[in-house]
Amino acid sequence: MSRYKAIVAYEGSLFKGWQTQVDGITVQDSIEQTLSRMEKKPVSIVGSGRTDRGVNALGQVFHFDSELNIPIDRFPLAINNQLVDGIHIKSIEKVDDSFHARKDAKAKVYQYHIEMGDYQLFERNHVYQLNKSLDVTMMEKSAQVLIGTHDFTSFNTTPLEVINNQVRTIYSIQFKIVGSQLHIEFIGSGFLRYMIRMIVMTLINVGLHKLDENVIEEFLLAKEKGLVIYNAPPEGLTLMKVKY
| Per-residue b or e along 40-62, where b marks 16 or more CB atoms closer than 10 Å to that residue's CB | eeebebebbbbbeebbbbbbbbb
**Annotation says 52 is catalytic:** yes
Helix ranges, 45-194 (H): 75-80, 136-143
Q: How many H helices and E strands in the chain?
A: 5, 10
Distances (CA, A) of 147 to 87, 173, 174, 206: 33, 7, 11, 17
The active-site residue out of 23, 29, 52, 97 is: 52
Give the residue numbers annotated as catalytic, written as ranges. Answer: 52
